[in-house]
Structure 1
Amino acid sequence: MTRSFRSPMPIRRFAGMTLLTVLAAAPDAIRAEPTSDPAKPAAGKISFDRDVRPILSNHCWKCHGPDAKERKAGLRLDQLDSATQPAESGKVAIIPNKPGASELLRRIHVSDADEQMPPASENKPLSAAQKEILKRWIEQGATFEQHWSFRTVSRPSLPSVKNKAWPKTPIDHFILARLEAEGLSPAPEADRETLIRRVTLDLTGLPPTIAEIDDFLSDRDPKAYEKVVDRLLKSPHYGERMALDWLDASRFADTNGYHIDNGRDMTRWRKWVIDAFNRNLPFDQFTIQQLAGDLLPEPTNAVAAFEQKLASGFHRNHMINFEGGAFPKEYHNAYIVDRVNTTATVWLGLTISCTQCHDHKYDPLTQREFYQLYAFFHNVPENGLDGRKGNAEPLLKFPTEDQQKQLAELSDNIAKLDARLKSAKDDEAKTVKADLDRLKKVQTEVEQLIPTSMVMREMDQPRETFVLIRGQYDKPGEKVAAEVPAVLPRLPDGAPRNRLGFAQWLTHPSHPLTSRVTVNRYWQSYFGTGLVKTSEDFGSQGELPSHPELLDWLAAEFMASESAATTWDIKHLQRLIVTSAAYRQSSRVTPALVARDPENRLLARGPRHRLSAEGIRDLALSVSGLLQHKIGGPSVSPYQPAGLWEELMARADGKNWTAQEYSQSHGADLYRRTMYTFWKRTCPPAQLATFDAPDRETCTVRRARTNTPLQALVLMNDPTYVEASRKLAERMLLEGGSTTDDRITFAFRLTLARKPTARELTVLRRVFEQQLARFQVDPAAATKLLSVGESPRNEQLPAAELAAWSAVASVILNLDEAVTKG
């Protein structure tokens, strides 16, 4: 069977043309990628956080902000005391209530290039509107506020709304209040087919089956939708869907990265993550076990004790080097820096990486504080160049039952020989010694074959930590101890000053960031954009929340639910979001609303965006019947263009390392869920990279979402999708009924959860007839098409007819609606 990446001409010619025809015919929603800021310009009272801070942060704080070493003229404009005191010139930048006397206003209006602020060299001129905001702010008293994300979370009251029939969960009160204030109305609820497809994709990453669709359509219970949600939250595939985003955040991969990029095995840790989501491990425990599972008191249950240690592998997912000639201290430093940056992104939503070399230019974070955080992660017994054998110490071992039995027998025999050796003499002693050496060698060989997972472990004697001058690993400065940033709450009373205490600090109710940052990412996964668009940056350079009160209500509810009486309950949070009226809205939109709110930040319509790279492939495998539903296990290697790894990793000594040559999987492993695909950092799966999957060299909490011609070429020509089209065509012939329209309808419902319109039926019927005619006169082309992929072809089905239906299936899988959630 051929696995060529060039699919037969009929698919390329007709699929592309027909796809455009169907899209033009379908009465689909108008879509636009958002670009607007949801915050309205202030018409009355000026808000420092909303109106003034963004101006000062973007235009002034680089030279007049938190970074003392870069500060000019002795002027700091991020603090009231400094801004209202004389600068080095003797002049006062801001005099509250006196704009005419404030030097800041004079300097932003002056025409003299030597005095003008910001300087022309910065290429960041203020607009007239920005200047007016600063003037009005000073007129109104120049009130400064603590940055919104550093304030303690408090639960706001639900706002009152006029349309009291619309809200279904407390979330909707906040959405509707904003819409009513904007003079907008929410969209109608989406039809049931759209709803079940949307929520099934969101909670499991897979499309609903036709049986599941029909059950929902026939269920007249007013709570039918809620029943669907509850069923999906209990699905084992829910954990896989939730884990996928966490793998990005944790920079999970199957190789060590850097120039050799040899293999490693953290798949048991990946399975722990899936299981943790499925059993609804509270997020505070999810956090603590991953950051410090090795430091928790050991449970009496051996399995639980083992799982805690396994969880701590989160911070062993970073890249590991062993390059000849490299300095161990340099890369050891790189690993710890990565742990600090990843922790800051995932739990704090702050760009702390900026402080590795100097104080932050925009946020109240210092270089000294970076290395105080560094000290929490500096006590793992590792040397910096220890990835030569794949997994690097410290390790947790997973012997199989056979290995356990073999090791037990070896230990018993070694003990017996040791006892004999003590009394043996001369030739007997030599024989016993030889047998003993042989068994010990076998024991070592068996132990080296035991599967492992990298974990954290604390050294008995902690290392000293120093501020590194300019971030250089070999230029230590001031000695520091483990501590948290001054702008945030102190460590909880009694918390140890180690990773465990740090993790407990992150999940303490007084912490202002962890809950906000986490609920925002979950919102992002459903609506495409977080309430804070910059989910990786809750600092001054990040965007303001579109619905700040809703963000705080969700954060408070997540930490301690009033309705569910639970704490840090992940499933409860998911249920709140997907059962809301806001989530259930139709995604159809008018041109006027697109112009008013292109990014849907006001949420006057339902979510609609392209599926993830993994979601697109999983959908094709699922509807084709190829998908294997096994959960967990080793990573697999699906179809990939030949030679990618080999071109990149061509080395004279390449045979000495793992993961240098791509070895494609076969059989069931070809059709595992995409999250189990082997992830090589220096050459991520090509098909997934085309759809914006990250390289996982560093932490990612917000994927890009692009549209490129390469994506269309992958969907039409990659063996995965050509083969899926063939297997979907077989299902259409065997399960879809006896008429052309029935078969088209069957494939539509499998893929899109709805029936085709009359016009769509007409277009696809014509595609089938044209393709059938072509393949009947060109049986070789049919054979070539049907030979793509390793799954066996159903030889009982006529080749020309199956090839024609494969073309129809390809068109359906290529529809914009097929690769979109909405």
Structure 2
Amino acid sequence: MRHLWLILLAVSFVTAEENHWSYKTPKIPETPKIQSHDWVTNEIDFFILSKMERNGLKQSDTQSPERLIRRLYLDLVGLPPSLNEVDSFLLDPSVNHYSEIVDKLLSSKHFGEKWAISWLDLARYADSDGYQRDGFRNVWPYRDWVIRSLNADMPYDQFTIEQLAGDLIVNATESQKIATGFNRGPTLNLEAGTDPEEDRVKQVVDRVNTTATVWLGTSLECAQCHDHKHDPFSIEDYYSMFAFFNNTPIEGKRRPNGNDASMDYSGVDIKVSLSDAELIERKRAKESASINQSEYVTKVKELCDTLSDEKLIQLKEKHPKEVKLAKSDDISYKDALAIDKVFFKKSESAGVLTSLKAKITKNQSRAKGGKFQIGFTSRVMKEMTQERKTRVLLRGDFTNPGVEVVANTPSLLPSFPEDFPKNRLGLARWIVSKDNPLTSRVAVNRVWNELFGRGIVTSIEDFGYKGVAPTHPDLLDWLAVTFQSTDHWSMKKLIKRIVLSSTYRQSSKLHAEAQRLDPLNEFYSRGPRNRLPAELIRDNALTISGLLSKKMFGRPVRPNQPNNFWRVIGEVDNNYYVSEGEDLYRRGIYTIWRRSAHYPSFANFDAPTRGACSVKREASNTPLQALTLLNDPVFVEMAEAFSRRIMKETSEMDTTQQLDHAFRLALSRSPGSRELEALKKIYFTALDTDGSSESAWFEIATTILNLHETITK
């Protein structure tokens, strides 16, 4: 009897696995019946209103034009509208005009800057390696690739393939290779005594887990040590997925052996000399040309032999160009050394390249005004020519290998096609195949979460048994199928459909009945109202103050931050060299991201360290946040600039008009009567106390920048 009970239990579990909603292929559902057709703008509204009516709820009024356009701007480009843009919409708040504004924002170059933020959280993008040493890495070209791809509305399937396997595409371009920086995001352990194989396995594990989370909404990491306790994935499934990523070389800047020496190993990249053009020194993101004792180069010849035929030189045009360069074999070793008269000996250590720093500086100045500028290297993926065998690691221990497995996808999901290559390219194509039930659902749910602050599946990282069931399953399936089949994976079409809906355009005001029946807004009986991400809080304040630089792309910048915030770690240069000029005021996405000490105001507003894939940012409420807005030197500077802007733009207005103008600059709307009286009291109290209008307007600027509404969309 006991054995029969166990058999029945196992059968019921298998049946449950097959019937779980997320593992079924999504299909277009029937459009639900509703009563209030007048409210509907598109199909989304049918599904939302049907659920509201069944739960005794009524839809909210359309958001006021001032608040709606501000919400739209912050959601699509991450910046507030200008007063001229607000006034234009106030004159014609029609749906047609609103749709035109949506199209304008979707085509804005700043669209990619806003939407890349959440993707970089997924990609665990950072400008440093992590761990105690936390040395810097040169990965910003990947960040720029994401921004450009989003701006170009690269189809999501292609967006996926290039990041997972761009290097394996036939005749892969430099751009496609840079895209694979997605999987060079894991932390890299360069501490003394680190086992290279152990760290390699950890990085492969990270790639497996991140891929499953980002594209499949699956917490696959539980199966690393044992069969998954909740979802139908075995340890064999895990290491079969592991095999797709297990064919890359050992990474890191460790001591090279023979042909293992590579350009990525050395602290300074190999220099390229062009006899008929400017001399270009190729170096990595490091500002110093010195290298550490554990990082040295054997011979220039050996290093040159590891370089490919094509290297990237950055021209002054907007996009990098591919340039063919001669390899070392084209000239003699003696002549190669004679070009630059620089060589390295094994016996030389940390100070060997000190003199080269001055040489680089000199050559930089020679290049100014010329056709060529300093190029860059970036971490990318590369497949080994000889396949590495994969074994199940018992209990996840790299020193305890078990049975051998081959690359394959989880057995419960659609089979891996026989004509697909058993590598990362085949895996990427399987992920975006029409038969995969998870990919499109996970993608549209994440976009919905970005716009509404909660997903249709609130556990956006987990579509398995321990995840939360969708509140609107038919809507999720309709969006998923439409995204894949009708929109051909266009992110911009998906976003446009959502922001045009009456659901999105509702007022965020909370009424008593909605508070009782829909306290968490899971039925979407009101519009979204959420705090801005950390980067956008700063971008918003920079825009309001008039300081924002809209310069795009390039190496990370270092705006002001509290002194001595970076602590001394190992042998890494921990001096925080503050940027100059407009680089102080660029958008937050370009701020240097150091895992052990990321930008303080970002940390205070819940930006992750990106030591691992971050699917959703939490929204805490702490005293540190108020203190940041009030006392952080950067926000004090923005308040000072904002006060100067107010005085400059309102010199011929009376005090009431001045206060109205200042309030509208920040919030796109005029203050209410009580708000206006409060502002007047603050202004005249400061004026009476100090006798200075500059001080009074500084108090007003500080007050407005510190409002909850200012940091909320």
- How would you bin the TM-score normalised by the shorter chain? 0.7 to 0.9
Q: CA deviation at 1:217?
A: 1.1
Equivalent residue number for residue 379 of structure 2 = 454
Cα distance change of structure 1 residues 217 and 258 upon mapping to structure 2, 3 Å threshold: same
Q: Residue 661 and residue 318 in structure 1: after superposition, are their counterparts in 2 closer, same or farther (change >3 A)? A: same
| Separation (CA, whole Å) in 2 of partners of 1:350 and 1:408 | 42
Q: Distance in 1 between matches of 2:506 and 2:554?
A: 38
1:692 aligns with 606
1:346 aligned onto 2:214: yes
Structure 1, 390-399 or 494-503: larger mean CA deviation: 390-399
1:769 aligns to what? 684
Equivalence for 1:668: 582
Amino acid at match of 2:703: V
Structure 2 residue runs without a partner (length 5+): 255-263, 268-283, 285-294, 296-305, 317-321, 345-355, 365-373
| Deviations 1:305-337, CA, capped at 9 Å, x for gaps | 221111111101111122221111100000000
> Which amino acid letter does the alignment assign opposite residue 684 of structure 2?
E
Matching residue of 2:299: none
Give the Cα separation in 1 of the matches to 2:236 and 2:54: 45
Separation (CA, whole Å) in 2 of partners of 1:650 and 1:378: 31
SS of residue matched to 1:467: strand
Q: Deviations over 1:449-508 (max 9, x none)?
A: 751111111111110001001101111111110000011001235211111110000000
Task: Give the direction of change, closer, same or farther, for the CA distance of 1:718–1:155 in structure 2 (3 Å limit).
Answer: same
AA paired with 2:658? R
Contact residue 532 and residue 545 of structure 1 kept, 8 A: yes
Contact kept in structure 1, 2:223 and 2:235, CA below 8 Å: yes
Quote the offset at 1:411 in angstroms. Answer: 5.9
- Taking only the aligned residue pairs, the percentage that are identical comes to 43
AA in 2 matched with 1:816: H
What letter corresponds to residue 640 of structure 1 in structure 2? Q
Q: Residue 735 in 1 paired to residue 649 in 2?
A: yes
Cα distance in structure 1, aligned partners of 2:330 and 2:494: 56
Q: Is the 8 A contact 1:239 1:277 kept in 2?
A: yes
In structure 2, what is the Cα distance between the partners aligned to 1:72 and 1:389?
Answer: 62
Residue pairs, 1:648-663, within 5 angstroms? 649-651=568-570, 654=571, 657-658=572-573, 660-663=574-577
* Other structure's SS at 2:556 match: coil
Secondary structure at the aligned position of 1:452 is classed as coil
How far apart, in 2, do the equivalents of 1:409 and 1:345 lie?
Answer: 39
Match of 2:75 among 199, 202, 209: 202
Q: List per-residue Cα deviations over 1:192-214 (Å, max 9, x = no partner).
A: 00110001000000111101101
| Equivalent position of 1:437 in the other structure | 337
**Aligned: 1:273 with 2:194:** no
Deviates more, 1:448-457 or 1:684-693: 448-457
Give, in whole Å, the separation in 2 of the partners of 1:464 and 1:307: 30
Letter aligned with residue 533 of structure 1: T
Report how many aligned residue pairs link the two structures. 635
3-state DSSP of counterpart to 2:19: coil
List aligned pairs for 1:622-771, cutoff 5 A: 622-646=543-567, 649-651=568-570, 654=571, 657-658=572-573, 660-736=574-650, 737-771=652-686
Matching of residue 815 in structure 1 with residue 707 in structure 2: yes
What is the match of residue 90 of structure 1? Answer: none
Query: 8 Å contact 1:414–1:436 — kept in the other structure?
Result: no
Alignment equivalent of 1:313, drawn from 181, 197, 206: 181
- Per-residue Cα deviation, 1:614-633 (whole angstroms, up to 9, x for no partner): 11111000010100001111
Preserved contact between residue 153 and residue 512 of structure 1 (Cα < 8 Å):
yes
Q: Offset at 1:770?
A: 1.0
CA distance in 2, matches of 1:682, 1:397: 32
1:588 aligns with 2:502: no
The residue type equivalent to 1:763 in the other structure is A
Match in the other structure for 1:325: 193
| Higher alpha-carbon deviation: 693-702 or 316-325 | 316-325
User: Residue 731 and residue 167 in structure 1: after superposition, are their counterparts in 2 closer, same or farther (change >3 A)?
Assistant: same
Q: Which has the larger radius of gyration?
A: 1
For the structure 1 residues 76 and 455, does the alpha-carbon distance in structure 2 shift closer, same or farther, using more than 3 Å as the test? Answer: farther
The answer to whether the aligner puts 1:548 opposite 2:473 as a matched pair is yes
**Alignment deviations for residues 383-423 of structure 1 (CA, whole Å, 9 cap, x no partner):** 45658757799999532459xxxx9999699967x4xx9xx
Change (3 A) 1:144 1:383: closer
Of 224, 227, 232, 2:100 maps to 227
* Matching residue of 1:88: none
* CA distance in structure 2 between the aligned counterparts of 1:601 and 1:152, rounded to whole angstroms: 24
CA contact (8 A) 1:414 1:440 kept: no
Contact 2:311 2:323 in 1 (8 A): no
Contact 2:164–2:425 (CA under 8 A) maintained in structure 1: yes
Out of 213, 237, 250, which is 1:382 matched to? 250
Corresponding position: 1:521 with 2:446: yes
Structure 1 counterpart SS, 2:240: helix
What is the 5 A alignment of 1:790-801?
800-801=692-693
Decide whether the 8 Å contact of 1:767 with 1:808 is kept in 2. Answer: yes
Question: Which residue does 2:65 correspond to in 1?
Answer: 192
2:281 is matched with none
Shift of 1:573: 0.2
Rounded to whole Å, the distance in 1 between the matches of 2:324 and 2:491 is 45
Which residue does the alignment assign to 1:609? 530
Contact preservation (8 Å) 1:638, 1:671: yes
Q: Please list the CA deviations of residues 28-61 of structure 1 after superposition, one character each: whole Å capped at 9, or x if unmatched.
A: xxxxxxxxxxxxxxxxxxxxxxxxxxxxxxxxxx
Aligned residue for 2:409? 484
CA distance in 1, matches of 2:535, 2:503: 26
CA contact under 8 A between 1:193 and 1:754: conserved in structure 2? yes
2:120 equivalent in structure 1: 247
Q: Which of 552, 557, 567 in structure 1 is aligned with 2:482?
A: 557
Query: Given that residues 153 and 510 in structure 1 are in contact (C-alpha distance below 8 angstroms), is that contact kept between their aligned partners in structure 2?
Result: no
> Which residue number corresponds to residue 694 of structure 2?
802
